[in-house]
Chain A
Amino acid sequence: MPYRSNRWVMALACTAALAATAACGSSDAGTTADGKVELTVATFNEFGYEDLLKEYEASHPNIKVTHRKTGKSDDHHQNMFTKIGAGSGLSDIEAVEEGWLAQVMAKSNQFNDLTKIGPADVKPDRWLKWKSDSATTKDGALIGYGTDIGPLAMCYNKDLFAAAGLPTEPEAVKAIFATWDSYFAAGDQFKAKTGDKAWFDSAAQVFNAMVNQNKVGYYDVDDKLVVDSNPDIKADWDKVTAAVAKGQSAKLVAFGNEWNTGFKTSAFATKTCPSWMLGVVEKQAGPENSGKWAVTDAFPEGGGNWGGSFLTVPKQSKHPKEAAELAAWLTAPEQQIKAFTSKGTFPSQVEALTAPALLEQTSAYFGGAKVGALFAEQAKKVPAAQHKGPASGQIQDKVFNSALQAVEQGTSVDDAWKQAVEGSQKAAK
């Protein structure tokens, strides 16, 4: 039955897209008119692959690469899952973002095991262990080659720290960011001095980092939902909501308009900062706040990761071997460093973390901090990969973020916890 219906869907899609008939016909062949192997690479945002793909074509005359870029990560992944459902239309290489990886891992039978089809010399130890582990199934199949990562550090507003009588130099603030307890305690101290300014931007931004550091997250290793039975989650929840009750949160929804304005008006003093967040801070706080923000190579309880992607080769690919070869080449340390120089995607390869181009990178906006070396250091502090269940991403982004927002807007902590638990159960169903 599903197969028949899929054909209908395809037929319909092709008819509806009459203007783009080429797309329906050519994906089957996978070879160009002059006999070259045609590979398609689907990415989102900026992977920095434009020049690299040209370089690959030049050194592999029998390969023609088509790059399908989507602007937004959500659109890219929805499109990808729709095509998995339709049974055709996927690119030979599909990029997968960390937040969606759990859902991809739940459908790992749709993807090739790269340890089998990839080049033999590409071993999981090319990447940081937690990175390659997170894309490895229980049976040991490697679903994706790691591209970039988002190691976490702490960003803080020096002016606000000074106003509250806190130290402002990157070395001196490390004690504040030693543990979550010291972090929230400093928040209380900060609030007592500054009044209307907040300690952090939004509860969810802190809570997600805390949960991701735990050994067990929303699921246990057997894919059983443990939201209401995992004491670590409740402990994190209690700490964050207590801080909200004391006014530490600026109650700004991350990436919304008001959040952007919050950077401009210096509404909060600290921000959990993955490597890519520096660009966001710089853009939103604007040149008028240049030099006010600083970043330090410390993060409560060690480290963490937020973001980063993988390259996968779906089983739909007509040329899985060639695709895996290209994916392996793109994620090699040398290439990833080039992508880093062109678009700032922070490399996940062990070797790339010692590359001079990375270590020498500084940020003028953050007072000339050696951010490359700083985040390379933070990347090593990331704890072992936590097991993610099929709905982990949704539970984090939709359920808990909403519940924490509800707390910030005045819902009682108990009601919001109930909302979170019920929402998680529904999402996991």
Chain B
Amino acid sequence: MTADLTEVPSGRGVEPRPPVLREPPNGHPKLPWRDRLTRLDVKYTPYAFIAPFFILFALIGLFPLLYTAYVSLFDWELGADEHPFIGLENYATLLADDQFWNAMFNTISIFVLSSVPQMIIAVLLAALLNTALRARTAWRMGVLLPYVASLVALAIIFSNLFGKQYGLINTFLNSVGLSPVDWQGNWFASHVAIATMVNWRWTGYNALIVLAAMQAIPREVHEAALVDGAGAVRRFVSITLPLLRPTIIFVVITSTIGGLQIFTEPKLFDPAGGSGGGFSNQYQTVVLYLYQSGFQDFNLGYASAMAWILFLVVLVIAAGNFFLTRRIASTGENE
């Protein structure tokens, strides 16, 4: 990379330097210091420019990551006088902890309930936004609005909607003669409610990303298919979807990472505002449990072990999704 840079003919260091003038008058064999500085400049400045990210990442990303692994090997209670080393005991306890598996189940359940419909709606929404609508930009900006709104405000509004006794949705269900749903108490209903919050916020955002990719698909391909007599659905399935593959993979992976770390929505959904995720942990996610262990029970070692297990689970599921979406999105295209 640096080699490429030195060959750039009009770099900042090269341009104002006519070689004749810089020639040392007494025929000194060494390059003058300004030249050497320039050379250093060209060689290392790019690193200096990208360094802030890596330094910050090392400080607030990598260091905590490694330090968490270290802490997870101790019985580390916040404020305790000593932290005895206990090896992998935190992990062993964790893997035998029913509450953890319950939290893992809830997380994955909420993740599936949110990501799957979200992806499908986002792609369809993008296809709609890609058609010749009136006031196209307004529509396109419109789908991003939920993303702009404050998450806390959204969660409060949604927990009002999903209230058991006085919530709007149950009031509506009552008025049309259906029996009300216990959105807090029933585990499945609570997962649906939380997934709805996630979908509301992220579908538009993902639709815009997919839309951008959709617009990059060359018209010629569509036209050729049109000439061959392919209908709109056929073109969408056989051309649009396969060509969206890299974007869909990206969106799926980011939503996997985000979805498995879901925290704010279930936390604010709890009417008592606690981290228990409902009275019998029916919607406690892994990060909520992690937060509860670390910052309410002050058991940092245990919380750190949980963070690492979650990290590994995210990696595995993201990798799984990567292969899955690659297969799904590649149908209709020979590889």
Interface residues of A (CB under 8 A from B): 1-2, 8, 12, 15-16, 78, 81-82, 84-85, 107, 109-110, 251-259, 261-262, 265, 267, 394, 397-398, 401-403, 405-406, 409-411, 419, 427
Contacts and interface: CB of A to CB of B under 8 A. Distances in A.
Contact of A258 (B63, B78, B80, B165): B165
A402 B298 contact: no
A256 B274 CA distance: 11
Contact of A419 (B160, B164, B280): B280
Contacts of B298: 81, 85
B60 interface: yes
B59 A256 contact: no
B67 A16 contact: no
Interface in B171-218: 182, 184-185
A1 B82 CA distance: 8
Nearest to B167: A258
B297 A255 contact: no
A254 B270 CA distance: 11
Which 10 A-B pairs give the minimum distances between C-beta atoms? A256-B271, A405-B279, A85-B78, A409-B185, A253-B271, A402-B279, A84-B79, A85-B79, A261-B166, A406-B279
Contacts of A15: 59
Given A16-B60, A110-B79, A265-B166, A257 B271 contact: yes
Given A394-B296, A406-B280, A258 B272 contact: no
Tell me which of B159, B184, B271 has the highest count of chain A C-beta atoms within 10 A of its own C-beta: B271
A410 B185 contact: yes
B274 A2 contact: no
Contacts, number: 84
B73 to A, nearest CB: 12
Interface in B277-291: 278-280
Nearest to B63: A12
B181 to A, nearest CB: 13
8 contacts: A12-B63, A15-B59, A82-B78, A109-B81, A110-B79, A256-B273, A262-B166, A265-B166
Given A2-B83, A258-B163, A403 B297 contact: no
A405 B182 CA distance: 13
A417 to B, nearest CB: 13
Given A394-B296, A411-B280, A258 B83 contact: no
A394 B297 contact: yes
Given A84-B79, A253-B271, A427 B297 contact: yes
Interface residues of B, number: 35
A224 B169 CA distance: 46
Contacts of B182: 409
A107 B78 CA distance: 11
Contacts of A257: 156, 159-160, 163, 166, 271
Contacts of A398: 274, 276, 296
Contacts of A403: 279
A420 to B, nearest CB: 11
Nearest to B163: A258
B263 to A, nearest CB: 15
Contacts of B296: 78, 394, 398
Contacts of B156: 257
B295 interface: yes
Tell me which of B64, B160, B166 has the highest count of chain A C-beta atoms within 10 A of its own C-beta: B166
A230 B131 CA distance: 70
Contacts of A406: 279-280
Given A78-B295, A258-B271, A252 B165 contact: yes
Contacts of B64: 12
Given A84-B79, A394-B297, A16 B59 contact: yes
A258 B280 contact: no
Interface in B114-156: 156
Contacts of B271: 253, 255-259
Contact of A81 (B78, B163, B184, B278): B78
B272 to A, nearest CB: 5
Interface in B75-114: 78-83
A409 B60 CA distance: 43
Tell me which of B82, B163, B167, B279 has the highest count of chain A C-beta atoms within 10 A of its own C-beta: B279
Given A15-B59, A401-B272, A406-B280, 11 more contacts: A12-B63, A16-B60, A82-B78, A82-B295, A85-B78, A85-B79, A258-B163, A258-B271, A262-B165, A405-B279, A409-B185
Contacts of A397: 274
Nearest to B298: A81
Interface in B53-75: 59-60, 63-64, 67
Nearest to B159: A257
Contacts of B273: 255-256
Contacts of B83: 1-2
A15 B58 CA distance: 12
B78 A84 contact: yes
B272 A255 contact: yes
A258 B295 contact: no
A107 B59 CA distance: 31
B295 to A, nearest CB: 6
B67 A258 contact: no
A84 B276 CA distance: 24
A224 B184 CA distance: 34
A254 B82 CA distance: 38
A414 to B, nearest CB: 14
A85 B295 CA distance: 11
A107 B185 CA distance: 37
Interface in B246-293: 271-274, 276, 278-280
B198 to A, nearest CB: 20
A397 B274 CA distance: 9
Contacts of A259: 271
Contacts of A265: 166
Contacts of B60: 16
A240 to B, nearest CB: 15
A254 B64 CA distance: 37
Contact of B79 (A107, A256, A405): A107
A223 to B, nearest CB: 15
Contacts of B82: 1-2
Tell me which of A8, A262, A409, A411 has the highest count of chain B C-beta atoms within 10 A of its own C-beta: A409
A177 B60 CA distance: 57
A427 B296 CA distance: 10
A405 B280 CA distance: 9
B324 to A, nearest CB: 37
Nearest to B164: A258
Contacts of B280: 402, 406, 411, 419
